[in-house]
Every structure is written in C-alpha cells, then in structure tokens.
A and B are shown apart, each in its own frame.
Chain A
C-alpha cells in the first residue's frame, strides 16, 4: 500500500478497515479502487462516495468489495445490457418460463427444459486445467439450482493456432498447444467424475485467440414442472442455507479479474482469482440438492459463482424486493484467518445457497448430512430491501439493495466497422485431389475423435445420438448430439454450438447470422426442431469503439434471425475484455442451439447407409468465399462472407423436418467449413462407403467454388431411390432448391464437373482426416 493512500484506510478492528471516502479526491478514489482491486471507475467511485456521504458514515472494506463485485461487467453487464434488452431479451419472450441463473422452457407436458451457457475465458488463460473444470462446475450449479437434473454438457473452445512459434510467445503467454491440452483435460477430469455426459462441443483454432483462449460451457437439464425452483426469495423469514464446499481464499476477485484485460502481470495477480473445483463434492451435492427438491423443501436457490456470497445473498433477496440478514460467523471456512471481506466475496467452488422455510431447515440439514455435505444456516430473508452482514457481533456491511443492485448501465460509444464484400480474386484451378486432402486434414475439419473419446459422453446411458456416429469402427462427426432424458418418454433434446470466427472477423453481421444458420442446420440434421438458442458473446475491450460496434451488430443480427425463426434466447452470457496477443479477439458470439425431438426413433445421422442411394444437395451454392477454409488454405484474402436469409432458413428447416417426419432421409450432413466436399467426405468416412457425384447441375460456378463454397442453409442428403420423388416434392413445394448430385457407390469419392476433378479412396481421406488434429496432440 502506498504512503499516500494509507491515511485513507482506517483500521476499525483487526479484521476490518474503513475508508475515508468523503474527503477523497478523484485521484484518491482511483487509487482506492486500484488498491482494493475492485475495478471501479472514478465515476462509479464518486457514486459510492455520494451514497456514503448521504449515509453519514464511512464505508467498510466489506462494503467496497461488495459494490466492486456487484458493479463489475461480469455481474451486471453494464456495457451490454442496453443492447441485450433492446434486441435479444424480448424475442419470443412468452416462450420463456424463467430466465434466472438458468433459463426455463416447456419440454413436454410434465417437464421443463433448463439450460445455461457461460464463459470461463480469463481463468482458463491463466490456469487452463482448473479454469475449464470449474467452468463445468459453475454451469452445473446454474442448472441444478433451478431444481433440475443436469443431463448434458457442451464445451465450445477457441485457441490460437497450434503451429504458433514458441520463440514468438511473449513472457506470461501460454502456448495454444498447452492451453488446448490442459483445457480438455480439465473438462475431462471434472466432467467424467461428476457423471454428466459431455455430448457436444466445438474446437476452433485462430491466432486471434493467442493469449486469450475462449472457453465456453453450456448445460441442459430437465425438471418436473412442479419441482421448478426460482432464484429468488418468496417470503421474509426464509432461512439462507449455505451448502456444499467450504469457503477459502481461492477465487477472490474472479469477476473483477474477468472484467479487465489480461496482461503479462496477470499470471501473478490472478492465481488467487482462479477457483479450485472438486467434482467429488459436486457429485453428491447434486444428489442431496435434488433430494431436497423432490421432497418439496426448497423455496429458492442460487449457485455461488461470480461475486460469491455477496452476489448470491443479495440477488436472492432483491429479485422480489426483500432484503437479507447474514451472520458470517457461521460460514464454514477452509482455513482460519480469512478477513470478513474475503469471506464475503470469495468464489470458492461447489457452493449453493438454498432458501428454506424455518420448519424445514432440520430436514434439509439431515439430507445434506447423509451425503457428508456441509450445510449451514447463515441468515434470513427480511422485509426491508437492505442487506446487513454481521461478523463477530459487529455490523460489517449494511447497504440498500436498490443501490447495490441498481444495475449501473453504460451507453458506451461505438463505431460500426466497414465490411468488405467483394471478391476480385483470380487464381488458377489447383489440383483438387490435393486440396480435398488438405481440407479434411485441416484443423477446422479434421477428426475430433481423440478429444471426444476422452470425455465420457455416455454416462447416464441417455445419449441416443452420439457425437461420433457411423458404422462400428468407422466413426465420423455428427451434426448434433441427442439425449433422451426421461426413461418413459421418447422425447429428446438435441444440442449443438457454432460460431466461425473467420466469418465474424470479416463481417460480424453475416458471421452472426451464419452461426445461427449453422446451429439450426445441425439440429434439423439429427431430426430435432430448433426450440431455443443461447448466446455467449465473447468480445474484446468494450472501451474500444470497434468492439462496442461489433457487439451492437451482433445483437441486431441475433434479433433479425431469431425473430424470424421464432427462437427465444433461453440463456446467455457476455464476456468482454478478451484481448489477445493481436489485440481484440474476433467477435465470437457463440451460439448454443437446443432442439426438441418429438420421438428419438426418427433421428438421423451423417454416415452413408447404402450403395445406390441418391445424394442430394439442398440449398443454393454461391461464390461466398470470404473467410472460407478453401481461401485460407490458398492464402486468398478476399471474398464476401456467406449471407443467410432467415426467411429462407426457416422454410428450409421446415422442409428438412418434414422429410425427416416422413422418414425420407437415410443420411444427412450440413455443409459448413470445407463445403460440400468436406460434408461428403465425412459421410463417406462414417459409412465406409464412397460416392459418385456430378456437379454439372450446380450452375454458373467454377468447380472449386462448387466444392468448397461455404454458403449457408445447405445440407447433403442421402435418399433411397424409391423415395426420391416424394423428397423432391417437399422442397419444390416450398421453393427450395434441391440438386441431385449422384449416388452412394464403392469405396472411393469420385466427383466430376464435365471432367473428373476428384477421385480418392475413402481410406486415404480417412487417414488425413484422422491425423489432422491428432498429430498436434502427441
């Protein structure tokens, strides 16, 4: 602590400081914020100053910390809130039952579907193993605290290029290869232990993530309608029970850390910000909590994540305008000697807050005891909208909740970036056999098997469509995974995620539309009707005009496409200040798509099924090569990012689903990175069957563009010859183009466009595809 500020801190007791705020100058205010590491701006500090002058007393350090947490970007979304409120939250609002720690929607007559999506980016940059693991822990609690049984996890990940030169890494920045490995190991070791299957995900590599990986995590669960628990207090007098792990020094200032740029010094500073996960406390915590829920003992609940006790206790009370009195002496601690402010804002893992009626407290404590899980009453809900905290019989915090949680919002200035939508490239046609092998062996397309097999994607025995599909021994990528959460119902939940930073980097608007387009394509490909989306908006520093401009564009694009598709956002998260080695990351609006399957026996997979079946392309192919894998491989830096027409997407989604309901689809795969060439390759790999295709009917494009264009709203579909007519009619009726490309045949992929352009054995394609990512993991 520097000399100048020392006089600003007054020791009130051995554990407690007060701050001489009324006399503080602007300079002092900035210094206090910095030294307490609470991340408040001078403007915000002035607001705090005015509040305590009105109260005619000095704030304690506990109070300052509580305000710092509550007003952090991470907790209150101050930069993004106005845009989310304007564009994203209102879409199809009547379909949302609740949007609290997790979102809730109808699943079937008896059950709700519960989903949540979050980022764990900053912790994973510093401590990838622990950061990724606690990401799962946190998202599970979000779903659990609604009373739901978590049924599946999804982990979209973004790293810098695996081939980045070690010599060129600045001090303190971890190599993408190390981060990638430690992140999936963290997911594996936590997810597998906790017994919730990791069924889907995404692994993306782009140098914009050097120094700042993106680790998002989503979870879905189901809950009987009458067992839904809300994240708020229903009545004064309810007792706060803190259950699960003990409170320690780990994870202090996690949210303020997440609301700032990472720099070379982050390594030292941040070690204490990263929480330590413990799946073997979590696993029984799920059982014990669920037992309390099914017995009807829980009135409200919230998980302890960002902001710790402070955030959970305050928000639970304030949501319905109540307050809380908490006695911190009762909080079970990992180690003695924690200061009251540390207890109040620690983000130690595996903790949940329950609100319980007085008469049920004893029974709840018994249930937790039977699972060897600590549970302690620590306070109660009160009528006045004030939060009061006692520590060793001393009042250490008393704040009006309207002040603490009054949602400071910022309307930050922004600038919409110019987008280039031209393609003047000209180059000779390369050897397309060679290009196809590079495409399937490239990082965006290559097999994820080596990672997927390390995640237990089958625990609970409900994963009916798996992330790896196909003939036994010939695994290929699926478009989405499907779980069948209820033993007595054939209803299923499909999960997928997407965003392509190569698109969003060049064109945030079209990139965002494309992400939604792709998740919808993936969902209908397995036979699921898209029912909602979740968004995790990962962007750079919001004080940069362009970052804010990108954020606004993303929100507008989401509104446009989701409104047409009638898809509400069930959950979401914003992660800002993602600044890597090359500045802001590409805007990364990660879209989680959740689909509903009426009857899982109608599900379809990507693998070719039978010789002589016909192969169709659904949708239109255009020369939209900006950000495409093909142009990247050829080093062509031009082209427009594929557009998506939401109306057309909706029509196409309906048509594919109709074909599914009429059982006309033998295999289906959406065309995305690597175009139809990559799609067909993966279908062949999984079926161990080749194909003969002729592209002449795809008009007015050079053959390489036909093969590798990444135009949206397209699928490659295998159809039995006797069903061809019915299949074609469905699409014709809706004005959607289908092109018959050829048929399933032999063990080679043979493609002609007037003359033969591709002729390769599947075994060779499979070999390249298998090694593309694996070779970096050895």
Chain B
C-alpha cells in the first residue's frame, strides 16, 4: 500500500488531549489521519491503523482509561478485535496504553491481568525519560529501532506503574514471547530507579505489545520527541541527529508502523 492511501484513525473523547501532536506526526510523514470521536466511531473499515492518544479521557476520575475502555467495549469492541485479528496495528500512548490494558488487549488473552497503577512518587511526572528497545523483532512499531537502542521519549502521567497479577510467571512469559517492547533506563543504558524509572514500574517496563506484535501500549510519548527541538537538550546538542536534521527520537515509532502497513497491506 502506498503511503498516500493509508488512513489512521485517532480516536478521542472528552479529555483526550494529545491528539494534535499525534496528527502532526503522521502528517509530516505524509500519512492521512482523522480524528474520530468515540461517539461517532461506528466502523473501522477504511482505516489501516488505530491510535488512542494520551490525555485524561473523561477526566480519569474513576481509574485511568476506565471510562474510555468501557465506551469502546459497548460501541466497537467486536470491530476492534476483528481489526487487530486482521493484523492492523493499534497504538495506545499513555492514556491510550491504560485503555488498551483496561480492555484486556494488553498483555493479551491468556496472559493474566496487568494494571497501570499510580506512580510510586504519588504525583504526576512530566519529565524527559529514556527507554531501551527490548523487542527482538515482533513489535511492528519498533522495526526501525536497533536492538537495545536507547531513545528519549518524555513521560507525563500519574498512573504508569505496570504491575502484573502473577509477576514472576507473567514476566517470563512476556519475555519468552517477545512482548516486552520498552524498558526505562538511565543515560548509561542501565535499568535504574527513580527518576529514570518515573513510576516504579515492575522490572522497569515501559511498553508492551500483544502476542502478535501489532498492538503496542507505551507510557512515554513518542510524539513529544518527534522533532529534535522537542528534546530538552537540543540547544546543547544541535538539531542534527542520526536520522537527519531535526529528527527526534520518537519518530522511528511512526516510521516503523507506516513501513509495516505499506509492506503488509
């Protein structure tokens, strides 16, 4: 499929607030995207990727993502399951990740339950963070990243601590099935504590994919390091980057999924 034929659905509701920068990311890469309010989302035909942006859907007063997830469940659950089964990529960033977990798409069927619990610090954390690519090749959102490569993607959340129902067993399953995508690390690339692990997440988990690799949920915001000038230290380091002038660390996520769609469909 040509890039110009691709269409991305950016699903939003009241309180979604990271949709504009997400759309900008796709637009810059030449891919058409549409904002779709969950109320108006009746079918997914014609879309090749679904993204659930960050924000505070419905205020997150209940539990992060709970209301958005239940709306999706009553409105379009079957269609979304089918969409995923057909291999189309689905991305949830921050609140979107919380929603994917809430719906059970992550870690996925037969995997036990996960939850995104309140940060250990007890407060919202908006800070530059580093993640290491842990995926061995399954995830369709990271094929442009080298193994163990470190990328800066800022976090901004109050509930991002991944906890698992049966930590030991589930962790080894996730590892074995290549479902771990990102871990929080420090500038030396080591698994470190706060603030490099901004929420106290188990085993420094920052992003997970499903068994098939086409659903990714992550707490850090790749759309907030799409451009180099979104990096906190660009004035020190200049705007030239390995990927080209003004290319930020998060851009590879979008490039990866676009490549995947164009190859697969």
Interface residues, chain B, CB within 8 Å of chain A? 14-18, 20-21, 24, 27-28, 37, 39-40, 54-56, 58-60, 123-128, 130, 152, 154, 156, 186-187, 221, 223-224, 226-227, 229-230, 232-236, 239
Contacts and interface: CB of A to CB of B under 8 A. Distances in A.
A370 B41 CA distance: 12
Given A193-B56, A454-B124, A458-B154, A469 B229 contact: no
B126 A461 contact: no
A670 interface: no
Given A193-B17, A454-B126, A604-B235, A461 B37 contact: no
B229 A484 contact: yes
A355 interface: no
A461 B228 CA distance: 11
A464 B232 contact: no
A276 to B, nearest CB: 13
Contacts of B229: 464, 484, 600-601
Contacts of A463: 230
Contacts of B156: 192, 456, 458-459
Contacts of B15: 193, 279-280, 283
Contacts of B21: 460-462
Contact of A458 (B24, B37, B230, B234): B230
A460 B128 CA distance: 15
Interface stretch (A470-478, A494-502, A587-595): A470-478
Contact of B24 (A194, A454, A487, A601): A487
A472 B196 CA distance: 11
A107 to B, nearest CB: 18
B7 to A, nearest CB: 20
Interface string A354-396: 0000000000000000111000000000000000000000000
B221 to A, nearest CB: 8
Nearest to B235: A605
Nearest to B156: A456
B168 to A, nearest CB: 31
9 contacts: A194-B17, A280-B15, A372-B39, A458-B156, A459-B18, A460-B20, A462-B21, A470-B233, A607-B236
Given A192-B56, A279-B59, A487-B24, A461 B236 contact: no
A461 B226 contact: yes
Interface string A269-313: 000000000011101100000000000000000000000000000
Contact of A461 (B125, B127, B223, B234): B223
B126 A457 contact: yes
A453 B127 contact: yes
B17 to A, nearest CB: 3
Query: Nearest 3 pairs between A and B by C-beta?
Result: A195-B17, A461-B21, A280-B59
A710 B18 CA distance: 41
Contacts of B236: 470-471, 605, 607, 609, 687
A465 interface: yes
Nearest to B60: A193
A603 B235 contact: yes
Contact of B230 (A188, A371, A464, A475): A464
Contact of A283 (B14, B123, B186): B14
A481 to B, nearest CB: 12
A607 B234 CA distance: 12
Contact of A466 (B20, B28, B232): B232
Interface of A is mostly: loop
A468 interface: yes
Which of B14, B20, B127 lies at the interface centre, i.e. has the most chain A CB atoms within 10 A of its CB?
A: B14
B56 A458 contact: no
B235 A454 contact: no
Contacts of A465: 235
Contacts of A475: 232
A472 B233 contact: yes
Contacts of A453: 123-127
A523 to B, nearest CB: 16
Contacts, number: 113
Which of B20, B39, B58, B186 lies at the interface centre, i.e. has the most chain A CB atoms within 10 A of its CB?
A: B20
**In the complex, which range does the number of interface residues on chain A fall in?**
35 or more
Contacts of B17: 193-195, 283, 459-460
B15 to A, nearest CB: 5
A454 B122 CA distance: 10
Contacts of B40: 370
Contacts of B55: 193, 195
Given A283-B17, A461-B226, A464-B234, 18 more contacts: A194-B17, A371-B14, A454-B124, A455-B124, A458-B126, A459-B17, A460-B20, A461-B20, A461-B224, A463-B230, A469-B232, A470-B232, A470-B233, A470-B236, A471-B233, A471-B236, A605-B236, A607-B236
Nearest to B59: A280
Nearest to A604: B235
Contacts of A461: 18, 20-21, 24, 221, 223-224, 226-227, 230
B14 A372 contact: yes
Contacts of B123: 453-454
Contacts of A192: 56, 124, 156
B122 to A, nearest CB: 10
Contacts of A371: 14, 37
A428 to B, nearest CB: 41
B187 A472 contact: yes
Which of B56, B126, B127, B234 lies at the interface centre, i.e. has the most chain A CB atoms within 10 A of its CB?
A: B126
A769 to B, nearest CB: 16
Contacts of A468: 232
A193 B59 contact: yes
Contacts of B221: 458, 461
Contacts of B227: 461
Contacts of A195: 17-18, 55
Contacts of A279: 15, 56, 59
A466 B226 CA distance: 16
Given A456-B156, A461-B224, A472-B128, A280 B58 contact: yes
Contacts of A455: 124, 126
A771 to B, nearest CB: 15
Nearest to B37: A370
Contacts of A194: 17
Contacts of B16: 283
A458 B220 CA distance: 12
Contacts of A193: 15, 17, 55-56, 59-60
Contacts of B226: 461
Nearest to B230: A461
A192 B124 CA distance: 9
Contact of B14 (A284, A457, A460): A284
A462 B248 CA distance: 13
A473 B187 contact: yes
A22 B187 CA distance: 78
A193 B95 CA distance: 11
B194 to A, nearest CB: 12
Contacts of B24: 461, 487
Contacts of A188: 124
Interface string A594-615: 0000001101110101000000
B59 to A, nearest CB: 4
A460 B126 CA distance: 13
Nearest to A449: B127
A370 B28 CA distance: 28
Contacts of A603: 235
